Amino acid sequence: MKRDTSYAAVMARKNEIMKASMGIDYDEFVHSPIAFDYEGMMRRASFPLDEIIRIQRETKVGDTPLFELKRLTAAVRHTSEPGKGARIFVKDEAANASGSFKARRASVALFEAMRKGYKGVCAATSGNYGAAVASQAAQRGLKAIILQEVFDSRGIGQPEIVEKGRACEAYGAEVLKLSVGPELFYNLLLTLEDTGFFNASLYTPFGIAGVETLGTEIVSQVRQLCGRDPDVVIATHAGGGNVTGTARGLIKAGAKNTRMVACSVDLSGLHMASDRDFNRKSFTTGHTGFGIPFATWPDRVDVPRNAARSLRYMDEYHLVTQGEVFYVTELLTKMEGLERGPAGNTSLTSAVALAREMPEDAIIVVQETEYTGAGKHHNSQLDFARKNGIEVRFGDPKDNKPGERIVIPQHLEQIRGRPQLLENLRTSYIKSAAKAYDIAKWDDYDKNFVAEDMKVSRDWLNSKLDSF
């Protein structure tokens, strides 16, 4: 009988395909359309922390350096009120094989694929994770297929995405280059069926468990250098795995009073699946086009239940503009001698703004850097923006307008960012949950799950539900 490859039929087989491509039966953990045994899934489908450390060391991952950015901290203090200007540290994840923290996620997934006897792996990604999967596959002797949204309908790709695809191919992966639209996960499912490969999804428990070592290393290193825990750890937020895995690592290390801050580039008004908007943004990840939707409803991915659940772990959410990030990228290079890519510099931008409001003895850790390259460099991105009709100028970043205008600050005091209210995200989450499952049918398990997933009390949730 011929296989039905229509979009509806393939998506209807998603659970079956996932089970075959990962060996995880998600139905075992599901309670209802909105609730499942999250911690049970994490325990069943990952490894003890010491085992993850061993796995990562086998393939050049982890134990990355932590640097104090003394010159940048001094500059922030110079623009702050007396006694303000927290110490800023950065975890240099560019030291991992493949050049980003994504190597931590890929290391565990690829080990699991090898352990279970798969011949290869597939992953759908905009790039950094694809390079990490390809790098780990090369070291494990596995084939790798990376599916990547690269082009708009004109066949034009953003330089950062093209650069990431080049990196995937350099590590030996086959890259299937797609145009923007809803076909990415559909093609992933088809490829998994065709090849019988392992699904090295970003959103499995394996990937999240791999990031937990990032959180535990930060705590260990800060304690060694400063004799106490960090006050704030900032993670660039897109699909949620960075925040989730790092925060879980902080918890496992016993850093109970460390605030977990998420940060995204504000691309309000641009639609990530829009052919027109695809090349009118200068950031391919770590922006609100992913950060807001994934925070307000994580289960919009290629697995039945997403292990990356940022709203469950974040204490604050901070937004910065494109121009602010480009300014801080240049500052990091010229003041600290670190030329790094845009993702980690997004959270570094937030760190600059937050440090100005915190006391001098406070400690902020930016939990990642990433490698840079010709396509990822901010000058390439700005040149591409101009070619797409976007105005680029110096001025006050409050005048920034995504898709129309990038305003680069003229001085450090203009690095401000702004808070994203968690109350609004939580309300959106409840609306999404209500759409997925009638509130009248929610039982205590459902309500407890939703409250935990939003990091609120049952009383808070009950008060909100009364208004729906």
Count H helices, E strands: the chain?
A: 18, 13
Q: How far is CA 85 from the centre of its chain?
A: 27
CB 260 within 8 A of CB 310: no
Q: Smallest Cα–Cα separation from 31: which of 434, 435, 449?
A: 449
| pLDDT tens for each residue of 409-421 | 999 999 999 999 9
Structural domain boundaries in the chain? 56-99+206-419
CB 295 within 8 A of CB 311: yes
Question: Residue 343 has what pLDDT?
Answer: 86
Question: Residue 15 has what pLDDT?
Answer: 81
Average pLDDT over residues 38-66: 96
d(CA 132, CA 211): 13
Q: How far is CA 463 from the centre of its chain?
A: 31
Question: Residue 338 has what pLDDT?
Answer: 96
HSE of 283, CA atoms in CB hemisphere, 13 A: 31
Longest dimension (CA), the chain: 75
d(CA 335, CA 118): 46
CB 167 within 8 A of CB 98: yes
d(CA 380, CA 214): 30
**Roughly what angle, to the nearest 10 degrees, separates helices 458-465 and 422-436?**
70
d(CA 183, CA 148): 10
Whether this prediction's pTM lies above 0.85 is answered by yes
Could you identify the residue written with the tokens 């759908």? 124
d(CA 80, CA 357): 8
What three-state secondary structure class fits 398? helix
Question: Residue 302 has what pLDDT?
Answer: 82
**Is the pLDDT reported for residue 50 higher than 70?**
yes
Q: How far is CA 445 from the centre of its chain?
A: 28
Question: Residue 235 has what pLDDT?
Answer: 98
Could you identify the residue written with the tokens 């060391």? 57
Stronger pLDDT, 275 or 240, i.e. the higher one: 240
| pLDDT tens for each residue of 9-23 | 988 888 888 889 988
Question: Residue 272 has what pLDDT?
Answer: 78
The CATH architecture annotation of domain 56-99+206-419 reads 3-Layer(aba) Sandwich (3.40)
Question: Residue 42 has what pLDDT?
Answer: 96
CB 249 within 8 A of CB 243: no
**Is the pLDDT reported for residue 34 higher than 90?**
yes
Average pLDDT over residues 127-138: 94
pLDDT band at residue 1 using 50, 70 and 90 as cut-offs: low
Question: Residue 401 has what pLDDT?
Answer: 96
Strand order in the sheet with 143-151: 174-179, 143-151, 120-124, 198-199
CB 87 within 8 A of CB 364: yes
pLDDT more than 70, % of the chain: 100
Give φ, ψ of 49 to 5 degrees.
-60, -45
Q: Smallest Cα–Cα separation from 248: which of 38, 458, 14?
A: 38
CB 455 within 8 A of CB 313: yes
**Is the pLDDT reported for residue 373 higher than 90?**
no
User: CA-based angle 21:26:32, to the nearest 5?
Assistant: 150
Phi/psi class of residue 305: alpha, beta or left (left: φ > 0; alpha: ψ in -120 to 50)?
Answer: beta
* Residue 3: C-alpha distances to residues 6, 168, 360 (Å): 9, 30, 64
Average pLDDT over residues 327-346: 95
